[in-house]
Amino acid sequence: MDIDSGLPLSAPTPRLVQVTPAMAEILLSRTVVNRRLDWGQVDFLADSIIREEWQLTHQGIALDGPLDTGYLLDGQHRLNAVIKAGVAVWIFVFEGLPRTAFPVLDTGKRRSGVDTLSSTGEKYLPVLYSTIRHVILFKNMPDSSWSGNGARIANGRILAAYNEDSGMYRDAVAMGREISKHVFASQTGMAVGYFVTTEAAPAVKVASWIDGLTSGANLEVGDPRLALTKVPHMKKRGAKRRYTMREQVAIYIKAWNAWVGGEKVEKLNFKKTENMPMPVEAKFDR
């Protein structure tokens, strides 16, 4: 295939620049059009910078002229994130972008977390992505809300977590899909519960735990497995409503902890004011 290598006269010039917070403030002072900022996106990017998860990509900032004098056409969120993080990052700066290009900037479809995992060859990608995301939230903000801008997780972080524990996540998704057929909760909620409990207690044989939940055979009153299968859907104004993901995981952990500890439980619930219960630990002797 022949490709014309001749550049159009209006082609912008890319330049790799380490943008400092001070430089970001200067560039923002030369903004052509002030788009309404999504401060949740700014917080998300700033958090990525602080966590040292920022990655250099082809996406950067665009000016209608040279770096020293050009006016900003694109990149407000990245620049505000640099300021908020207080850390310099490497960014591609495109100098000389025509102002006529402004209306078409950032009109492409964002890559989703599911898209990021598509290269793994795994099945059930939406459940896998959601499971990984909520395991990360469990480990980093167990007692905070798992929804909203504060609970966003970078796609790179999702993929890194998968690569570190791919086998465990694969098993968790399979178990979550099966357990959810017999209890009140979603596939993701049960997958997350299974992951964090078996990670904390790898020495516990879970076969009887799973058998009890899925078959219900020979379970006596007070058995935490029976209690978990009897948790009803919450109802609000006559309509069924699932527990939030955080509530689902908490109730699963409560049942697991009681079962591992040999405790009797007839009813399981979780109040919004409660802190997330932590899975009991039982490690292999090393």
- The whole-number pLDDT of residue 111 equals 62
Task: Centre a 10 Å sphere on the Cβ of residue 101 and count the other Cβ atoms it contains.
Answer: 15
* Residue 42: its H or E element: helix 39-50
| Closest to 44 (Cα-Cα) out of 90, 80, 19 | 80
- The whole-number pLDDT of residue 210 equals 93
* Domain of residue 176, residue span: 113-260
Whether residues 49 and 128 share a domain: the answer is no
- Residues (pLDDT < 70) of the chain are 1-10, 33-35, 102-111, 233-242, 283-286
Beta-bridge mates of residue 94: 14, 62
What does the pLDDT look like over 142-188, one tens digit per residue? Answer: 999 998 878 888 888 898 899 999 999 999 999 999 999 999 999 99
Whether residues 66 and 174 share a domain: the answer is no
- The whole-number pLDDT of residue 186 equals 93
CA–CA distance, 130 with 47 (Å, rounded to integer): 20
**Does residue 142 lie in a domain region?**
yes
CA–CA distance, 177 with 171 (Å, rounded to integer): 10
Q: Residue 47: CB partners within 8 Å, gap ≥ 6?
A: 85
CA–CA distance, 50 with 47 (Å, rounded to integer): 5
Pairing of strands 239-241, 89-95: unpaired
In the numeric block, which tokens belong to residue 9? 């006269």
Whether residues 46 and 156 share a domain: the answer is no
> What's the residue count for the chain?
286
E-only strand ranges, the chain? 13-19, 61-63, 72-74, 89-95, 234-236, 239-241
In a 10 Å sphere around its CB, with 0-12 CB exposed, 13-18 middle and 19+ buried, how is residue 231 labelled? Answer: buried
Whether residues 130 and 250 share a domain: the answer is yes
- Coil, strand or helix: which one is 31? strand
Task: Domain count for the chain, please give it.
Answer: 2
- The whole-number pLDDT of residue 133 equals 95
Whether residues 63 and 151 share a domain: the answer is no
Whether residues 91 and 117 share a domain: the answer is no
CA–CA distance, 135 with 265 (Å, rounded to integer): 26
Whether residues 159 and 239 share a domain: the answer is yes
**Does residue 126 lie in a domain region?**
yes
- Is this model's pTM higher than 0.75 or not? no
Q: Which residues of 214-226 are buried (b: 16+ CB within 10 A; e: fewer)?
A: beeeebeeebbbb
- The whole-number pLDDT of residue 5 equals 57
Whether residues 136 and 191 share a domain: the answer is yes
| Closest to 76 (Cα-Cα) out of 18, 29, 12 | 29
In the numeric block, which tokens belong to residue 22? 């001070």
- The whole-number pLDDT of residue 33 equals 67
What does the pLDDT look like over 7-24, one tens digit per residue? Answer: 666 678 889 999 999 999
